A and B are shown apart, each in its own frame.
Chain A
């Protein structure tokens, strides 16, 4: 997305937290202060982070539904059309025999549903990413939480104060992250 490029150039500050409630407090304070462009990092997911950030539920569910419907339609079309195209009586069953075809339909429903769910997840998370963002710190996958506040240079002081008051351990400008694998 173009917005990301611009946002990247704005950089911002990244605060690291040892405790979950510090992170949550920081998020709340920043949101109240009007800074909405936040991105958190955590080693494990937690409902509270999502709840405090108040983001809408994931649209992956629509991908799943679309996949299931597509799979069902494909299954029905494939089986019925091919049977009619070359009508061959096998085992005394009707040319268009719905009960066996339903088994195929079911399997394809699940297959397409699963594939599109995964696709939906990758698409929505903008994975796979070749360049890991400037705000990432390997410790965010181990035991620390992170909060990246995208803001302009002039806001840095306000944001720093807010982060510190919530209990951030370290605050560094994004882009000057720790030495990371150059993937």
Chain B
């Protein structure tokens, strides 16, 4: 964690400019109302909620890698899980912006929180939108907890090596860690339980987000497969984002010894799995649209394939389910440029998927009289770009101030030094 060069500061500056532009666009929205977005009857939810679902989805792979793979005792997770967890936390920070951004009156966002007002009226616990509040808040808190718990031993290492005001901050984060057997024992127990709790939480969070749509009766939204479909899609996009960030990280910090070809290949294999699940979901949705004899459902499907949003639809099918199949070829999944390119395509595809599901669902509901189209405005696009920049801002700060690889866990994977190994010392 040495002093960064001019390239870092340039990147940081560009990033800050985009974030500032995004904030400006939002301020413009608050001043002039949601009409400056492309939202109109019938599509009253479009890029705002797309971004929310996209970023919550990205957050999932981090917890998958750190919690789920930990429970399965998968060794190779050790050097990448810190970065993956950081991606989770920052993606949640980004996703958390959108429930506030997409409110018409963001100054009353506190009405989303569970408290009593107007003589005893609480939030509507029956509504999926309130489930969202609980799920995302819980996920954010647990992810941050998990992240910082994992950081504590590493902070002790860093604390010992720095001095001055920096040392005071790291020492605070290390919480007086010494590495005694007692501390390790409780730490290990807590880590296992946090991982065991985080696993069903991950599945539940994106299921709850999917239920924002599935619980309605909008044709094409009301489908029982949404929960596992969205969870698989979330992990799919999250893994792609992790690869997108790991490859430059590895290059810049020269971490090839820690983040090896094998790690990237394993991530690629996981992407094959999630890509297949997403493809399966597309196929089943198509089949059921036909099978159900439900006329609005079927016409919405044909609208997706041939209507105004056909291009995003076909991008979605191609990038999410067909392109990842390339990873079956060993040469492709071991080649860094291919990995990076395909990861970017998957990210684009997954963003498109959320957009297509949401917008086509609303654009073509039951009553042909109210069919309509959504056209994004500069404000929509600025806010979307601003959100990406916000995410990268946090990530840039992370790589500056915190160890990107878990020092302790990587050490743990090495065999301990024993006399029998070294002979006479």
Contacts and interface: CB of A to CB of B under 8 A. Distances in A.
The reply, when asked whether chain A contacts chain B directly with Cβ atoms under 8 A, is yes
B135 interface: yes
B193 A64 contact: yes
A27 to B, nearest CB: 9
B32 interface: no
A181 B159 contact: yes
Interface in A25-70: 39-46, 49-50, 53, 55, 57-58, 60-61, 64, 68
A12 interface: no
A125 B208 CA distance: 35
- Residue from B178, B183, B198 having most chain A Cβ neighbours under 10 A: B178
A76 B116 CA distance: 16
Contacts of B188: 45, 58
Given A19-B422, A138-B160, A114 B142 contact: yes
Contact of B187 (A121, A130, A143): A121
Given A44-B412, A111-B141, A121-B187, A136 B125 contact: no
Contact of A101 (B125, B138, B190): B125
Contact of A45 (B156, B163, B171, B184): B184
Interface string A100-124: 1101101110110111011011101
A108 B134 contact: yes
A145 B420 CA distance: 16
B147 to A, nearest CB: 12
Contacts of B119: 86
Interface string B95-136: 000000000000000000010100111101111101100110
A57 B187 CA distance: 12
A182 to B, nearest CB: 10
A40 B120 CA distance: 55
Interface of A: 18-22, 39-46, 49-50, 53, 55, 57-58, 60-61, 64, 68, 78-79, 82-83, 85-86, 88, 90-91, 93, 97, 100-101, 103-104, 106-108, 110-111, 113-115, 117-118, 120-122, 124-125, 127-133, 136, 138, 140-143, 167, 180-181, 183
15 contacts: A20-B417, A40-B180, A44-B416, A58-B186, A60-B193, A86-B121, A97-B126, A104-B131, A107-B135, A111-B142, A121-B187, A127-B177, A129-B178, A136-B178, A183-B159
Given A106-B200, A121-B190, A125-B183, 14 more contacts: A18-B417, A39-B182, A50-B185, A64-B197, A88-B124, A100-B128, A103-B208, A104-B125, A108-B138, A110-B201, A114-B138, A117-B194, A140-B179, A181-B159
